[in-house]
Amino acid sequence: MAQLDTEIGLLNDDILELMYLVKTQLEKGHKAFIDFDEDLAIDITINEKRVDALELKIDRDCENILALFNPVAVDLRFVIASFKINSDLERLGDHADSIAKYIMDFGEPIDEEIIKEMRIDEMFETAIQMMSHIFSAFISEDTQLARKVFAKDKILNEINRGISNVTARLINENGKQVEEYLYLFSIIRKLERVGDLLKNVAEEIIFYIEAKVLKHKKDKSENSSKEGDS
Amino acid sequence: MEAEQKNPKATNVETKPKLNPDNKDFKLQAKNVNVYYGDFQAINDISLDVVDNSITAFIGPSGCGKSTFLRLFNRMNDYIDGFRMEGDILLNKKSVYDESVKVEELRKKVGMVFQKPNPFPKSVYENVAYGLRIQGIKDEDLIEKRVVKSLKQATLFDEVESLEKQALSLSGGQQQRLCIARALAVQPSVLLMDEPTSALDPISTAKIEELIRELKKKYTIVIVTHNMQQAGRISDNTAFLYMGKLIEYGDTQKIFTNPEKDRTQNYITGRFG
């Protein structure tokens, strides 16, 4: 096996490890939120350091491969995609960490009815499904699966778009729980960003496998134009 | 894709000549070319067009036929034992293998630079003047003008303290640029280069590459290289040859980022060859 193959294989393993770690962080965030498990929230903040360390290692590895092996074609696309996915995953980890900190700051369980009304559980579940699709799509190089993320992201966007009105109405109806509503509002904003980042990761997976650039394109279907086309 | 924004700093960005089928501005054309050395078939049915004022790179593993193919354009294979060619090679839409073509005249139009610098054991001046003298030019003023111009084009003029300096005392990179100047002196329109930097260090290589890019403005350049990064850096179009066949030919950027053929991808990523 060529040395470049070995390096690409190691980079692939590191990206998978980071993906799995971030996926676990989001799942723990969901569980900590629903069960109001402060210990689990603390666990997330501790693991955030692992996310950061792995991000730095992957950055360095990408730089080394580019400098030392001059990859081209599919290898180059893989390294470029990995570099961007790495950054997106690190930011996903940051959002999981921020959600954990909200849970710790808030200090008491949140009313289940409010969670239901603000559709936060649905957002968590959708985001985690997206993360699972990304994970499997990366392992199996399955761009169909990666594309499923785009439809799911629309669910998160739809909830996010309506949340200002929902929050305003809830505050009007019950002014005593303003702080609670605002915490939840912030978590929703974070989950919407999680969706955007996962969408970016899906685009990078498709770029690496199909050499198609989907960024800034409304039509992200399989037949969308190839790199360089308008 | 969004409308492409121009980088205000990118003032030197050149428009790369594309192999557009509508582009009839071809300098060189190969038409269904087969080459045999005795019973061995070195080139197998290659057709290829080279755009005027462009740099075209031939890449491929050793023995794939890229040098043989390059040398067809100025008939350098003619005297090799057992050489036989089918098909045709056109320069400015005229066959270079036509009986009426004089090889010496052809080579004035299609110059060549080889892998190893091969200056004559003469002065810098006489090396560059050599081609002009054997053409029968006796006007010393004209010869001097051409020598100076060619040395300047090859970015060597300012580096040699005297034109009487012995060519063999120059560095390898300078000798190769001298050979380029020698080729330019007879005012060709095409320059063929067979691995012109493979014997040079990175600094000399960079200078030659810069020179090649500069020469593109006036000449059509075809280069054989084993250095994949070099092909990517300097050429507009790249042809990948394998076992005498043309596997893929097209825009260099496309070949090195997203080639059409698996075999091309496997070669440029170092997975075979």
Q: Tokens 């056109």 label which residue?
A: B90
A141 interfaces chain B, CB cutoff of 8 Å: no
B228 vs A70: CB contact, 8 Å cut-off? Answer: yes
The label of the residue with tokens 């930011």 reads: A91
pLDDT confidence tier of residue B199, bands split at 50, 70 and 90? confident
The token duo for B172 is 């390898």
Structure-derived torsion over alpha carbons of residues A14, A16, A17, A21, reported in degrees to the nearest 10: 140
Output the six-digit token pair for B255: 């070949």
Ranges of chain A with pLDDT below 50 = 225-230
Instruction: Classify residue B3 by its DSSP letter.
Output: P
In whole angstroms, how far apart are CA B157 and each of A173, A223, B128? Answer: 86, 55, 11
- Inter-chain contact B268–A73, Cβ cutoff 8 Å? yes
B184 contacts B147 by C-beta, under 8 angstroms: no
* Interface mutation vs chain A, best among B229, B251, B258, most A CBs within 10 Å: B258
Q: pLDDT digit string (tens) for A38-57?
A: 999 999 999 999 999 999 99
Dihedral over Cα of A118, A121, A122, A127: its sign: positive
pLDDT of residue A221: 67
Contact (CB<8Å) A2/B271: yes
A108: left (phi over 0), alpha (psi -120 to 50) or beta: beta
Percent of chain B with pLDDT over 70: 91
Q: What percent of chain B has pLDDT over 90?
A: 81
Cβ-nearest to A75 among B3, B232, B269:
B269
**Cβ separation B270–A2 shorter than 8 A:** yes
Answer for the pair A79, A62: CB distance below 8 angstroms, yes or no: yes
- B196 to chain A nearest CA, in Å? 21
Contact yes or no for A4 and B257 at CB 8 A: no
Q: For chain B, list residues whose CB is within 8 angstroms of any CB belonging to chain A.
A: 1-3, 228-229, 232, 256-259, 265, 268-271
Tell me whether residues A216 and B228 touch, CB distance under 8 A. Answer: no
Nearest to B1 among A76, A77, A229 (CB): A229
CATH tag, A3-210: 1.20.58.220
Residue of A2, A73, A228 with shortest CB distance to B256? A73
Residue B247: its pLDDT value, please?
97
List CB contacts of B250: < 8 A, sequence separation 6 or more: B19, B237, B238, B260
pLDDT at B11 over 80: no
C-alpha to C-alpha distance for B154 and B149, rounded to whole angstroms: 9
For residue B24, pLDDT beyond 70: no
Q: In the A/B pair of chains, how many CB contacts fall below 8 A?
A: 41
Average pLDDT over residues B48-70: 95
- What are the domain boundaries of chain A? 3-210
Q: Which residue of B has its CA nearest to A225?
A: B1
- CB atoms < 10 A from the CB of A45, how many? 15
For residues A118 and A187, give the distance between their C-alpha atoms in angstroms, rounded to a whole number. Answer: 10
All structural domains of chain B, each given as residue ranges with its CATH number in brackets, are 26-268 (3.40.50.300)
Tokens of B231: 């092909």
A72 touches chain B (CB under 8 A): yes
Neighbours of A56 (CB within 10 A): 11
Interface test with B, best of A5, A68, A74, A215 (most B CBs within 10 A): A74
